[in-house]
Structure formats: C-alpha cells, structure tokens
Amino acid sequence: MPYKRDHRSMFLRLVADSFTRRPRRKVLTAAALSLGMAVVTAALSVSLDVGDRLASEFRSLGANLLVTPQADSLPLEIGGVDYRPVNAGAYLPEADLPKIKTVFWHNNIIAFSPSLEVQVNSWTPQFSPASAAFVKPAAKGDAVLIGAWSNHEVRLSDGGSFVTGLKQTSPWWSVDGAWFNDAKAECIVGKNFAKKNAVLIDSPVYLEGPISGQGLALTVTGIYSSGGAEDDGVVAPLSIVQKYLQKPGQYRRLEVSALTKPEDDFARRDPKTMKQDEFERWSCSPYVSSIAYSIKQVLPGTDVRVIRRVAEGEGTILTRVRALLWMVTFASLLAAALAVGASAAASVIERRTEIGLMKALGAGAAAVGFLLAAEQLVLAFVGGGIGYSLGTLLARLVGQKIFGVAPAPSVLVLVAVLALAAGVTLLGSAIPLRRASRYEPAPILRGE
C-alpha cells in the first residue's frame, strides 16, 4: 500500500511540475482549446435551440395547414378566392373548432382562423354638389367579402380560453388603422380596394348580393396590406358574414398555424402502411403531417392538407442552418486538434532529456505515454471549462441578436464539450505521444 501511495504521489508531482516549469506553452495550448471549445459551445447551444426558434419565426410566413370540407372535392379557386355560388359546396360547423386544442400536439397549434368568402358588389357614397348630399353611384365594383375572426376568444372544453384569428395566422398583414371588432358591423379593406373605391378609414362601405334584396353596411376601421389577392377584398367579422349569407355557425375553410419539426422520409410515409410501433413513433413526433392527421381525427368530415410551400421551405432553411452550424463545429474542432498537436509535438521535443531519464530509471513506454496523456487531459478539461463559459456568453449574444431570445445553458452541452475537448486533445497529441513512448534513453542521454 505505501508503495502504491508513493507511486501515485510521484505521478501527481510530475504532472504538477510540468505545469509549473512550462506555464507559457500550457497556457497557449489551453487558450487554443478554450477558443475552439467556445465556438463549439455556441454552435451546439444555438443548434439545440434553433429548431424551436426558427419554427416560431417561420410562423410569420402564415398557416401551414388548410382544413376544408371533405365533400367539397371540386373547388373553383382563382388566386386563392373561391368563386363558387354561395349555396354550392359543403360547410363545416364552427362549434367543432375548440376540439383542435384537444389533440396530442395541442400546445404546438398556436393559431387557427376559419373563413367564409363570397363575391359581392360594393359601392361607397359619393358627394353630389347638385344635391349637396352623399348619393349612391351608378357604377358598382366587384369585391370579395371575407368573413373571418380578427382576435377571437375560443372557449375550450377544459374551461380555459384561447385567443386566435387573422392577427395570429397572418401576422405579416400590415393594418393602417385598427382591426375590426368581431362583435360589430365593422371591416378592414385591402389597399387595392381602398384605392379603387376611394375608401377612407371610418367611412361606410355598402355590399350587395348574392342574397337578393339584402345589402350589408359596414364601417371601415382600417386599410390592410397583405401582398396577395386579399388586397382587393373586404374582411369583416365571421358572424356578420354568416348572418348575411344565412349560414349561421358555419365556415368553408380553416387555416391552422402549428409549430412543427422538418419532415424526413419517415414523416412522409403513409400512416396506413405503418406498423403499430412505427405509427406510434410517427404520431408522437410533431411532424406537420402527423398534426394534420390528428386534426382530421377530431374534425370529422374534413380534408386537412399541408401547405407544402410553407412546410418544405421551413424544413429546407432549418436543415441548411443546422448544416452550417455543424460545419462551424467541425472546423473549430479541427483547428483545436491541430493547435494541440503542434503544441504537444513541441513539448515532447523540448522534454526529450526528461523522457530519456525517466526511461533510464525504469519507466516503461506505457507509463511515459500515460503521464503525457494525463497532462494533456488536464489541459483539455481546463480549456473545455473555460471554452464552455465563453461559448455560453457567445451563444447568448448570437441568440439575442438573431432570435431575440438567448438559449439557456445546458448541462448536456457542458458534458458534450468536455468530452469533445478530451477527444480532440488526445487525437491531436496522439502522434507526438506515440513518438515519445518510443524514445530510447541511451541515445538521448548521450546527447544524440
């Protein structure tokens, strides 16, 4: 026992002596490791967090799921506008919408908005100098009346509530003025419609048809810009349009915005062809297709389609961002390994006499290699710890600048960084350590 204790004490003294007698080279090696591990820490932290952050940012692109009546198999849409007669096609019950928040991934469904569209004639009063009053113009313009929620409170089955509507599913819409109140005869009009009909905020708009003998008067609360075909339309509360079209409590299409993970080949498989364990894994993953399947189960008689241009765009961008982060991580590890290798090679050459003396006193190749490897591992843990601290600060800076939210420190990242630091150090110093273990003491001690 005393022999083993003396052996251990001697080993620790040799390691400590190496650091005290050659501090400059050790500091340079630790600095190189620290910088490399700092970049690795930042890349790993952002990579683990980037999926959720980008998914939240992508929701500004709009809904990624579209729900329509299953029986409505032959839609007539041009430029996103439904041109079928108002009484044609099927409708869905608005009362079923709270069921969407009961699916397995209900927390991932951040917004949804039902809509009802119809082609109408529109006109605005014009001032007549002859009669000194506002009169109805002879010419009328075509317009699309869209019934939707603006900021609607949905009562859920668990007693809670969920506020959703166009403001949540179409956050890129720019509204000059204010959104309409869901309980009042108000509307917002597209910028093209407002320009064509000389409509101003707080002015009235009158709509006619297709219900004969009935008109609809609305007050304009805002003028919006969507960048799409909706800029030629009028958006009013869904309840007002339902009453006007004599379709109370019904809608024709539903846009859903959900946080999802990029689809892979497994996600695109038909669930009907999956085995039970495969289906459970698929349904327990927040793929856009699995969320669509869950919505279809709670909304009978619906056809839930994935808006591929949005979903695929999200997956492509996220994949490229993660690939870039992994490339940065690999480059940092390679640079750290080269720096450690160069430092280890210089250290071995510098300590040739010391190594020769150790071997002359009876130390074997394994003992010499173990001693030098232990010194490098101490450097690895010191450099990895410092690098993790610096990388956490760098990750916070990157997260704040790009996503507005800093990623939280992770114990998983710390363990991974320390393991990578140890691996990179041993890999980089493997050749110098092998060369040191093969030194012959006699030539070294003779000065050859």
In a 3-state reduction of DSSP, which class is residue 306? strand
Question: How far is residue 23's CA from residue 88's CA, in Å, rounded to a whole number?
Answer: 84
Exposed, middle or buried: residue 76 (CB in 10 Å: 0-12, 13-18, 19+)?
Answer: exposed
Contact 254, 112 (CB under 8 A): yes
Same domain (yes/no): 161, 184: yes
Q: Which of 313, 64, 53 is nearest to 170 (CA)?
A: 64
Residue 311: inside a domain, yes or no?
Answer: no
Question: How far is residue 288's CA from residue 304's CA, in Å, rounded to a whole number?
Answer: 11
> Alpha-carbon Rg of the chain, whole angstroms?
34
pLDDT 10s digit of each residue in the chain, 448 long? 444 444 455 555 655 555 566 667 777 778 888 888 888 888 887 777 666 666 666 655 667 889 999 876 555 555 555 555 444 568 899 999 999 999 988 888 989 999 998 888 876 655 455 544 444 554 455 788 999 999 899 999 888 899 999 988 888 889 999 999 998 999 999 999 888 888 889 988 888 766 655 778 899 999 999 888 888 889 999 999 999 888 999 999 999 988 877 777 787 788 888 888 888 888 888 888 889 889 999 998 898 888 766 555 666 666 777 777 788 888 888 888 887 777 777 766 666 666 666 666 566 656 666 667 777 778 888 888 888 888 888 888 877 776 666 777 778 888 888 888 888 887 877 777 676 666 666 665 555 5
DSSP-derived secondary structure letter, 95: G
Tokens of 356: 């020769």
Question: How far is residue 162's CA from residue 160's CA, in Å, rounded to a whole number?
Answer: 7
Same domain (yes/no): 15, 82: no
Amino acid code (one letter) for 57: E
**Of 285, 306, 327, at which residue does a domain stop?**
306
* Domains of the chain: total: 2
**Of 270, 287, 306, at which residue does a domain stop?**
306
In the prediction, which pLDDT does 135 show?
47
Contact 218, 197 (CB under 8 A): no
Same domain (yes/no): 334, 287: no
Q: CB within 8 A of 139, min separation 6: which ones?
A: 123
Print the SS3 string covering 111-160: EEEEEEEEEEEEECCEEECCCCEEECCCCCEEEEEEEECCCEEEECCCCC
In the prediction, which pLDDT does 38 show?
87
Contact 133, 127 (CB under 8 A): yes
Residue 279: inside a domain, yes or no?
Answer: yes
In the prediction, which pLDDT does 138 show?
44
Same domain (yes/no): 106, 181: yes
Same domain (yes/no): 294, 169: yes
Range of the domain at 18: 2-55+316-445
Tell me the CB-side half-sphere exposure of residue 8, using CA atoms within 13 A: 5
DSSP-derived secondary structure letter, 186: E
In the prediction, which pLDDT does 256 show?
92
Exposed, middle or buried: residue 240 (CB in 10 Å: 0-12, 13-18, 19+)?
Answer: buried
In a 3-state reduction of DSSP, which class is residue 222? strand
**Of 262, 286, 306, at which residue does a domain stop?**
306
Residue 377: inside a domain, yes or no?
Answer: yes
Q: What is the pTM of this model?
A: 0.62
Same domain (yes/no): 300, 320: no
